[in-house]
């Protein structure tokens, strides 16, 4: 098993119509590897771009179709392959090769050494495990990015024992993502000292991808990295390269995009944070702030149809019945969350604004998506969060003891009976314009810089409305 792989940088996906990535895919804890399978005709293999890995000249990147249900039916044909090459001139200036060779081997099989140890060192054993070479085709990319290669001659599947190879003819960077954890954890010190008491992997037979170095070894495509939930521990993970095959079966292939929508509560660092299950607003100045995002959990080859998003409060659309996006040459890539609103990505509304709109009690704020094409899972097409208004209006929160004068005010006003309280003055946009702690019994507020308009003076939990007129 290789021990040199580390995630070194994140691959950012560009804009998709009106939505674009807000963060690196590999840093999003909600992203998982997506393997496309279980269909008669279509793409099989991993298609999630999240980071890149370095490959040397002569190395084979091997896909095992028998690990993808539906990819080994006798009589069907492999007609093309897809992979993703990348360039990082700063970190890897020498890894710029655009030359590759596609190979297919028959009679390929995991032998006992590979299953138990994840590694075969003998070149004779390598030849036995790889099987017989039956297809070879050179390919030179003209640019970096996703590469789709039509096979000059389709390969007709005879049985499950065939492997598809992408050979790097020079130093190259290939895109992929981190797969499932496949070992126990060890400390960084134990790893450095070659002590692996808990990093035991008893069976490698589920490995979907392998690596073959023509000079020395055939092994499992896996790597070690910091296990951040228990830092500084270290664990092993599958490497899932962005490497797929297209199998032409008897059925017609239907492009599929499984759209999902979700509200998030915010962004902390480079992470989307979960929204609350429900919200209760107790003051007219309280805010509801939600970030509407969407994702494609299906395939990224749907190029027709219309995707419509809508944001509603108590059934009332805030997007004039929805915002439609027609798929064309650009598709919505699989993996990652895409923002529906520009930075700071949030829809924000105060309790008073909801009251002014006629809302009261408990109601749902919903984000929905609909797709005119094939969307096999409709259960994730909406996300609703209940919101409760525990205040009817600003006036009902006015305190009997606290008073503000003069009202309307000009350049200054006084808050009476506020001794020791915290006074917060908020304008009609919800912006704090004054904040005083441990106030005097009759606290004066300088309003000389206030614009004309309505302001809310919050004294602890009491709220008084005042107008400033100059």
pLDDT in tens, 249-286: 755 556 667 888 899 888 876 677 889 999 999 888 88
Domain boundary among 335, 359, 389: 389
pLDDT in the model for residue 346: 85
The answer to whether 15 and 342 have CB atoms below 8 angstroms apart is no
Please report whether residue 9 resides in a domain. no
pLDDT in the model for residue 196: 66
pLDDT in tens, 151-191: 999 999 988 889 999 999 999 999 888 777 877 777 767 76
Per the model's pLDDT, the better-predicted residue between 196 and 288 turns out to be 288
Which residues does 141 contact at the CB level (< 8 Å), separation at least 6? 85, 98, 100, 147
Of 181-185, 269-273, 349-353, 387-391, the one with minimum mean pLDDT is 269-273
Per the model's pLDDT, the better-predicted residue between 242 and 296 turns out to be 242
Flag whether pLDDT at 235 surpasses 70.
yes
Flag whether pLDDT at 30 surpasses 60.
no
Among 225, 229, 224, 299, which residue's Cα sits nearest to residue 29? 229
Same structural domain, 158 and 287? no
Nearest-5° Cα angle at 42, 40 to 46: 115
pLDDT in tens, 93-122: 999 999 999 999 999 888 888 887 777 776
Domain boundary among 219, 248, 277: 248
Same structural domain, 286 and 370? yes
pLDDT in tens, 58-79: 899 999 999 888 888 888 889 9
Please report whether residue 1 resides in a domain. no
User: How many residues are listed for the chain in this entry?
Assistant: 470
Flag whether pLDDT at 322 surpasses 90.
no
Which residues does 407 contact at the CB level (< 8 Å), separation at least 6? 413, 466, 467
Of 17-21, 282-286, 383-387, the one with minimum mean pLDDT is 17-21
Flag whether pLDDT at 410 surpasses 70.
yes
Q: What is the pTM of this model?
A: 0.53
Per the model's pLDDT, the better-predicted residue between 377 and 366 turns out to be 366
pLDDT averaged over every residue in the chain: 77
pLDDT in the model for residue 110: 85
Same structural domain, 223 and 99? yes
- The parent domain of residue 456 ranges over 398-468
Give the pLDDT mean for 373-377.
77
pLDDT in the model for residue 168: 95
217, burial (CB in 10 Å: exposed 0-12, middle 13-18, buried 19+): middle
Please report whether residue 106 resides in a domain. yes
Same structural domain, 244 and 119? yes
Give the pLDDT mean for 186-202.
71
Please report whether residue 131 resides in a domain. yes
Flag whether pLDDT at 200 surpasses 80.
no
- Find the farthest-apart pair of alpha carbons in the chain and give their distance in angstroms, rounded: 95
pLDDT in tens, 422-459: 899 988 777 889 999 888 889 999 999 999 988 888 88
Maximum mean pLDDT: which of 36-45, 189-198, 304-313, 431-440? 431-440
Same structural domain, 408 and 449? yes
Same structural domain, 179 and 312? no
Please report whether residue 20 resides in a domain. no
How sure is the predictor about 38, in pLDDT bands with cuts at 50, 70 and 90? very low
Flag whether pLDDT at 324 surpasses 70.
no
Give one word for 319, left, alpha or beta, with left for phi > 0 and alpha for psi -120 to 50.
alpha
Q: Please tell me the number of Cα atoms within 13 Å of 311 on its side-chain side.
A: 16
Q: Burial code of 351-380, b = ≥16 C-beta within 10 A, e = fewer? A: bbebbeeebeeebebbbbbbbebebeeeeb
pLDDT in the model for residue 64: 92
Domain boundary among 345, 362, 389: 389
Please tell me the total count of domains within the chain: 3
CA atoms of 399 and 402, how far apart (whole Å): 5
Tell me the percentage of the chain whose pLDDT exceeds 90.
Answer: 24
Same structural domain, 88 and 148? yes
Of 43-47, 54-58, 315-319, the one with minimum mean pLDDT is 315-319
């Amino acid at each position: 098993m290789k021990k040199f792989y580390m995630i070194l940088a994140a691959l950012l996906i560009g804009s998709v119509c009106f939505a674009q990535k807000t963060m690196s895919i590999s840093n999003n804890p909600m992203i998982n590897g997506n393997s496309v399978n279980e269909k008669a005709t279509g793409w099989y293999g991993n298609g999630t771009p999240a980071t890149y890995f370095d490959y040397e000249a002569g190395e084979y990147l091997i896909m095992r179709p028998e690990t993808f249900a539906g990819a080994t039916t006798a009589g069907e044909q492999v007609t093309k392959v897809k992979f993703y090459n990348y360039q990082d001139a700063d970190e890897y200036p020498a890894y710029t090769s655009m030359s590759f060779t596609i190979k297919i081997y028959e009679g390929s099989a995991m032998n006992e050494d590979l299953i138990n140890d994840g590694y075969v060192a003998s070149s004779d054993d390598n030849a036995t495990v790889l099987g017989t070479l039956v297809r070879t085709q050179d390919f030179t990319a003209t640019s970096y990015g996703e590469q789709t290669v039509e096979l000059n001659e389709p390969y007709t599947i005879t049985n499950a024992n065939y492997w598809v190879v992408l050979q790097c003819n020079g130093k190259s960077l290939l895109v992929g993502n981190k797969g499932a954890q496949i070992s126990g954890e060890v400390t960084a010190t134990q790893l450095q000292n070659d002590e692996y008491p808990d990093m035991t992997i008893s069976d490698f037979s589920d490995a979907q991808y392998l690596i073959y170095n023509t000079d020395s070894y055939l092994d499992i495509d896996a790597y070690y990295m910091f296990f951040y939930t228990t830092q500084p521990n270290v664990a092993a993970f599958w490497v899932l390269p962005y490497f797929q095959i297209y199998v032409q079966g008897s059925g017609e292939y239907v492009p599929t995009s499984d759209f999902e929508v979700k509200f998030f509560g915010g962004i902390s660092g480079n992470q989307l944070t979960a929204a609350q299950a429900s919200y209760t607003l107790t003051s007219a100045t309280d805010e509801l702030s939600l970030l509407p995002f969407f994702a494609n959990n299906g395939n990224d080859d749907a190029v027709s149809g219309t995707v419509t998003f809508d944001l509603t409060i108590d059934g009332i659309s805030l997007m004039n019945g929805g915002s439609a996006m027609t798929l064309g040459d650009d598709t919505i890539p699989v993996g990652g969350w895409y923002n529906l609103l520009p930075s700071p990505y949030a829809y924000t509304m105060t309790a008073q604004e909801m009251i002014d709109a006629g809302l009261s009690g408990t109601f749902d704020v919903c984000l929905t998506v609909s797709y005119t094409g094939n969307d096999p899972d409709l259960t994730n097409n909406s996300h609703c969060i209940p919101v409760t208004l525990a205040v009817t209006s600003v006036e009902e929160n006015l305190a009997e003891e606290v008073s503000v004068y003069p009202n309307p005010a000009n350049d200054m006003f006084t808050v009476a009976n506020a001794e020791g309280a915290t006074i917060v003055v908020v304008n009609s946009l919800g912006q704090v314009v004054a904040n005083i702690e441990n106030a005097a019994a009759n606290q004066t507020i300088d309003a000389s810089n206030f614009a004309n308009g309505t302001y809310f003076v919050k004294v602890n939990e009491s709220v008084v409305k005042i107008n400033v007129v100059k």
